[in-house]
Amino acid sequence: GAEPAASPASESPERRRWAPDPAPRPEERRQWTAPTPAPAPAPAPVPGPTIKSPSGGGQKLKLDKHEQIDFTALTQNECLGTGGFGAVYRGFFSGKEVAIKKLFCEDGGNISPLQLEELEKEVAALRNLDHPRLVSFVGACLQPPNLCIVTEYMPGGSLHHLLHKAKTPLVLGQQAKLALQVCEGTSFLHSLTPPVVHRDLKSLNIVLDLLYNAKICDFGLTQSMEKTHISLKEGGNGGSPRYMAPECYDCKGKITEKVDVWAMGCILVEAFGGPLPYEETPQMAQVLNLMRFHRQPPLVPPWFTPEVKPMLAGCFDFSPETRVSSREVSEVLVTVTADDLERHGMDKRRTR
């Protein structure tokens, strides 16, 4: 058989001295990466369901046969969350637990051009991106009004819920592992040719298994950076305001993969026990004022270690050109151990 893909550094035996696993570590859920058996030869290929693109360029979203899901084959259970696009449910498909992202349709089963564009982007991104730190694609249903994307289910919920709703205390090893895994997923996207920009990284879009292994989800705003940058007009504003880099608010702003680095910095602050970005500033207008006119980045708590603090400050460089890369952040995180964090007192919870 083929050689198995190398495990990322965050799962290597050396890294695992950070924190003993609560139970013998099961094989990580990669049930959807097995090669699909070749279909039996047919006299003529039957085209899969397609949805016309709103871009006017004649592009269509096409699915291979094994990616086409009949909505009646899905069992939809409880709702895990909602957004402007629709809702995400836990469910089952072919005996496997899955996440079902169902789009809201207008009366008559119509879908707006913007929804369609995001659906296209997300399916295209999920189909083409395969990495242990990204949720894996199962398939999609393209039969209105039942438009949905089906991905692997992560039973640990979101990092945001874990840290800010359940307020689960993490041991230092878990913090370091989560931080590195978020960075591994981001670095993978940025290492592609052309680089892929997620554009909506936030702790709500980091999902976990029961051992707190992290994966990035929600690729609705993801774009390939075909040129040197994505213009704001072409990319739209998108994103989640508190995690958005300053260039996203500049009408002449050039969107590059460095917008993900800023957002990733925010997530790493949270993972290491710090606050949400601009947590003490409730109004978005005030956040914008702090960022644009006072050039105040999100808080990097003063009690963070000397290794972690400058790395995070580098994520919040107001100039995208000199902002650190996700690979540079990975290179620092891979050396950080629970012992380093404890030596600098990061095991003691503080508010500031």
Instruction: Please indicate if the annotation marks 102 as binding a ligand.
Output: yes
> Do 146 and 169 reside in the same domain of the chain?
no
Local confidence pLDDT in tens for the 352 residues of the chain: 544 555 566 665 444 434 433 443 444 433 333 344 444 454 444 444 444 433 333 346 778 888 999 999 999 999 998 876 789 999 999 999 999 999 887 666 677 787 777 788 889 889 989 999 999 999 999 877 888 999 999 999 999 999 999 999 999 999 999 999 999 999 999 999 999 999 999 999 999 999 999 999 998 888 888 767 676 554 445 678 899 999 998 888 789 999 999 999 999 999 999 999 999 998 999 999 999 899 999 999 998 998 899 999 999 999 999 999 999 999 999 999 999 899 888 887 555 4
Phi-psi region of 199 (alpha: psi -120 to 50; beta: other; left: phi over 0): left
How much is the pLDDT for 8? 66
**CATH, residue 106:** 3.30.200.20
CA 149 to CA 126: how far, in whole Å?
Answer: 10
198 and 142 in a common domain: no
In a domain, 12, yes or no: no
Assess contact for 235 and 271: CB atoms under 8 A. Answer: no
Q: Is residue 2 part of a domain?
A: no
Same domain, 167 and 77: no
Residue 145, preceding bond cis, omega within 30 degrees?
A: yes
Among the candidates 97, 118, 152, a domain finishes at 152
CA atoms of 46 and 234, how far apart (whole Å) = 34
Kindly state the DSSP code that residue 72 receives in the 8-state scheme.
Answer: G
One domain for residues 90 and 209: no
Q: Bridge partners of 91? A: 76, 98
135: burial class by Cβ within 10 Å (0-12, 13-18, 19+)?
buried
Range of the domain at 148: 71-152
Annotated catalytic residue: which of 200, 218, 260, 317?
200
DSSP lists the bridge partners of residue 50 as: 62
The CA distance from 28 to 9, in Å, is 14
User: Is there a single domain that holds both residue 195 and residue 253?
Assistant: yes
Q: Provide the 3-class DSSP secondary structure of residue 82.
A: strand
Q: How far lies 315's CA from each of 53, 228, 298, 318, 324, in Å?
A: 35, 20, 10, 9, 6
d(CA 65, CA 84): 29
Contact call for residues 305 and 313 (beta carbons, < 8 A): no
The reply to whether 261 and 288 lie within a common domain is yes
Same domain flag for 198 and 263: yes
Total domains, the chain: 2
C-beta of residue 201 within 8 angstroms of C-beta of residue 186: yes
With tokens 């709103």, the residue in question is: 54
250 is catalytic: no
Q: State the CATH number of the domain containing residue 245.
A: 1.10.510.10
In a domain, 8, yes or no: no
Whole-number Cα distances in Å, 28 to 75, 126, 186: 23, 18, 19
Structural domain includes residue 335: yes
- Is 35 within a domain? no
Of the residues 152, 185, 206, the one at which a domain ends: 152
Tally helices (H) and strands (E) across the chain: 9, 13
Last residue of a domain, one of 98, 123, 152: 152
Report if residue 184 sits inside a domain. yes
198 shares its domain with 325: yes
Does residue 183 share a domain with residue 116? no
- In the chain the beta strands, taken as DSSP E runs, fall at 50-52, 60-62, 74-82, 86-93, 96-103, 137-143, 146-152, 196-197, 206-208, 214-216, 223-224, 230-231, 254-255
Q: Would residue 207 count as lying in a domain?
A: yes
Same domain, 319 and 286: yes
Whether residues 172 and 301 fall in one domain: yes
Is 303 exposed, middle or buried (CB count within 10 Å of its CB: 0-12, 13-18, 19+)?
middle
Predicted local distance difference test score (pLDDT) of residue 201: 97
Q: Looking at the structure, tell me whether residues 184 and 76 fall in a common domain.
A: no
Cα angle, residue 28 at apex, residues 35 and 94 outer, rounded to 5°: 55
Given this model, what pLDDT does residue 50 score?
47
Q: What local confidence, expressed as pLDDT, does residue 238 receive? A: 60
Is residue 190 domain-resident?
yes
